[in-house]
Amino acid sequence: MSACVRIRHDHTAHSSPPSRASGIKRPHSPPPPRRGGRFRIAGADLSASITVFLIAVPMSLGLAVAMDAPLEAGLISAAVGGIVAGLLGGTPLQVSGPSAGLTVVTAELIQIYGWRTTCAITIGAGLLQILLGSLRAARGALAVSPAIVHGTLAGIGVAIALAQLHIVLGASPQSSAAANALALPEQLGRTSPAAPLIGALTISVLVVWPRLPGRIGRAVRRLPAALASVAIATAVAAVAAPGIARVDLPSWRSHALPELPQGPVLALATAVLTVLLVASLESLLAAVAVDKLTADRAGGRTADSSPPAPDVPAAPRVQRSDLDRELRGQGIANVLAGLLGGLPVSGGAVRSSANVRAGATGRAATVLHGVWVLLAAGLLVTALEWIPLAALAALVMVVGFQMVNYAHIRNVHKHREFLVYGATITGVVLFGVLEGVAIGIAVAVAVALHRLARTRITVTDQGGQHLVVVRGQLTFLAVPRLSRTLGQLPRGGDAVVELDGFFMDHAAYETIQDWSDAQTAQGGRVVFTGRSGGRIAEPASAAHSCCRPWTPWRNHHCHDRPDRPGQPADARRAAATRAAFAPDENPGADRGPADSAGAEADARAADATAGPTGRSDTPGDGAAVPRRTGAHRLASGLSSFQRNTAPLVRDELARLAREGQRPSQLFITCADSRLVTSMITASGPGDLFTVRNVGNLVPPPGSEAGDDSVGAAIEYAVDVLKVESITVCGHSGCGAMQALMGTRPDTPRTSLWRWLRHGLPSLERMTSRHHAWARISGRLPADEVEQLCLTNVVQQLDHLRAHESVARRLAEGALQLHGMYFHVGEAQAYLLAEGASAGSGVDEVFDRVGPCDPNHAHPYDITNLSDPTSLTALGDPGDHAAVSVPTGAAGPADPTGSGELERTSA
């Protein structure tokens, strides 16, 4: 942003920083603890605790079955994790309990050392967690590559699913994931039907339960899917398969407690480190995820997309996680769980997300859930022993499959880390968790070194001009080849150097700079570009974008102030802008990085002397003068254009006047004054054929007379101008969509109403059950108006396809349609998924457009700029997983951990 806004400091330069005891939070520090607070139980916490309890009981029993541990150990860990970690941990809304990530590790430890030694190992891991939390090392654990972390969890999930599949088939799992996979064909040949059918029933209910439609479905979905699936499977098994294997809870009198560990010291130390690593990473990653869920809920992005009623208080804000305290709390819980003969404890994503979405406001929900588990362990033993083992195994198998997250796979693939991810999964499945992590780290280091050392340099003769393409990172290792290649080019010749990489060290920079200086000194011309063809004229630190089309615009009100003696700030800024954008006066030399950096520094210096409205705040500048309005403002703006902008665009406009317009795209958008199409698309004269109207509406063919202007523009753009694409662009806070939301049968039939009736199909589409809902990737729509704005873009694309000229060009493959949404307050653009824009996709998701990246071209090029210094790449879409948006009341959280909030009907 502009430096026009001055920052007022409330303390003097000599004031000391706030002390820790003052309660003032330093940047990036954990929140100060509350003092003198009481443990309060709100109604929302009570209901949330019951929801989580109903999920935790079957999950804890299922994990105990998967680990071949005493079943009561799972209940002990759930109670200890809820009460102890809930009270002492650093994430108030995180629910801890038996660790799904430690299923394979714990099962192996029990098989090798026995149950009592495994409890001692859990105590040792807990003590190390307490030590690391006291040393404030929690943040360091998050420095592990996400590809390794997600690969580890995915490998554990695969191993869990393979082991539980044997229990679902009515047998016992083998000692390793590989053995389980090899034994499956034989097991399938001698399976009795009872256990597989109960397992299939459990999985079916888990999948279908969150998707039950209608009012009845919304009511029954208040019961968690995990509990519903196990309860239904138990009831069916009691009638149809009375002889099936069931839960067997032994007497508490025979419960085994830990003993001193017996075995090789090195092997025991490795086991403790493995439990420590997996439990800590799982807990810390879950804590970060809980923070994100809590922030979304506090910001109003909950499962209910409708705006809250005025008399309903907003969701209370919960303090963000103190990861070091969370690690200490998890360590204390593990020590106590091990002493009581329980399973290893960690924070669980499934239980925690259910807690947040159920409306929990503090630690009370987590602690109460542990209390309910404790009571159930003592009072509901008879009821729990009716549960079939196949139902619990199927529940845990689904959890294992969900640990292989497609969103994570897509993310690591986009960042070219799939090799690390795949190697980690393979290592975990074949050799074990610790070995898999070590393999993942080794592969990650090898990939990093390979990328650092691999640099491809090619030279192409383009008729007197040479194109030098450098792909990869330019380090001192590549300097010999780079110097040899550049030295073979003709001296004094023209060359274009395309740099496709994100790092250049000092040795490579000096090599290129010295060669460029020698070429220009002998009459040659050297131009440096990025991968997409954009000219490199300044270092990346000088500006955060590839080009600066907004620079003359950001202080466009500065011309409202009267001229004063001397050079005012806007004139100095305009001079700096002209210096940065003007063509070179010397045709034999290219402008170097220092020139552009200096021009940008001049612009920043001009900004630094201006106030919030662009007026100079320097002494002697006089009192502020009100901005001009009406005709004076129009004349002042025209004068500013003639003075600052016309000299820059005169040659380009003269060329367009001679050659005529040849725009590449028809851009249909709203008439809202805040939507500056040339700015948000980085386009210039001759690029866009723009149609603006109230609500960016496209009347379908055959509508009533009086609406032919949009149809005429479409026909002219498609048949005469031969545009290559059409974009329909909606925006946030659209007044037309707000008016549609308030339409009633008695609305006066004014001109505005007769125009807005073309938006009624969008309103009907949003409320219809027969269309997928338009969504924003990475977050929920803020309210119903934003939902309608997104849906309207999709509906107007359908209207476009109904036009004869558009349909003909689409059938020929000579035209593309794009949907776009621009959030004004965030200055953020979103593009509709390619399949939905073409009318062939099911999911209508608007993907976030990332910052301009000269090294990666975007598949959706919405501009075809005449200016060679402008880039059309918009960034990579799909950074976040899509989330479905409900319109009705928010139902309970999805206990299966799918991470999706399902659509409900009114």
- Active centre residues (catalytic): 670, 672, 674, 731, 734
**Is the distance from CB of 398 to CB of 68 less than 8 angstroms?**
no
Per DSSP (E only), the strands in 405-518 are 455-461, 465-472, 494-500
Q: Where are the alpha helices (DSSP H) in 506-556?
A: 506-521
Q: How far apart are CA 484 and CA 49, in angstroms?
A: 69
Parallel, antiparallel or unpaired: strands 725-731 and 774-776:
unpaired
Q: Where are the alpha helices (DSSP H) in 747-855?
A: 751-756, 760-767, 784-801, 804-812, 834-837
Q: How far apart are CA 79 and CA 552, in angstroms?
A: 62
Q: How far apart are CA 311 and CA 308, in angstroms?
A: 8
Of 526, 521, 504, which Cα lies nearest the Cα of 592?
526
The phi and psi torsions of 553 (rounded to 5 degrees) equal: -90, -30
Angle subtended at Cα 770 by Cα 768 and Cα 773, rounded to the nearest 5 degrees: 70
Which of the 8 DSSP states describes residue 210?
Answer: G
- Cα distances from 447 to residues 92, 385, 455, 825, 856, in angstroms, run 39, 51, 14, 40, 20
**Is the distance from CB of 878 to CB of 847 less than 8 angstroms?**
yes
Amino acid at 706: G
Per DSSP (E only), the strands in 659-700 are 665-670, 688-693
Amino acid at 782: A
Q: How far apart are CA 478 and CA 457, in angstroms?
A: 9
* Residue 885: count of CB within 10 angstroms of its CB: 24
Q: How far apart are CA 769 and CA 211, in angstroms?
A: 13
Q: How far apart are CA 163 and CA 155, in angstroms?
A: 12
186 class by beta-carbon count within 10 Å (0-12 exposed, 13-18 middle, 19+ buried):
exposed
- Tokens 């092997």 belong to 267
Amino acid at 777: S
344 class by beta-carbon count within 10 Å (0-12 exposed, 13-18 middle, 19+ buried):
buried
Three-state DSSP at 489 gives coil
Residue 730 parent element (H or E): strand 725-731
- Cα distances from 445 to residues 308, 428, 472, 612, in angstroms, run 49, 18, 17, 48
**Is the distance from CB of 121 to CB of 108 less than 8 angstroms?**
no
Q: How far apart are CA 884 and CA 774, in angstroms?
A: 9
Q: In angstroms, how far is CA 271 from the centroid of its own chain?
A: 35
- Cα distances from 413 to residues 158, 421, 422, in angstroms, run 19, 9, 10
Written as six digits, the tokens of 234 are 């138990």
Q: Where are the alpha helices (DSSP H) in 592-686?
A: 593-608, 630-640, 646-659, 677-680
Of 157, 91, 649, which Cα lies nearest the Cα of 397?
157
Q: How far apart are CA 424 and CA 158, in angstroms?
A: 12
**Is the distance from CB of 422 to CB of 155 less than 8 angstroms?**
no
- The alpha carbon torsion through 384, 389, 390, 394 (nearest 10 deg) reads 70
Of 65, 489, 503, 397, which Cα lies nearest the Cα of 249?
65
- The alpha carbon torsion through 454, 455, 458, 464 (nearest 10 deg) reads 180
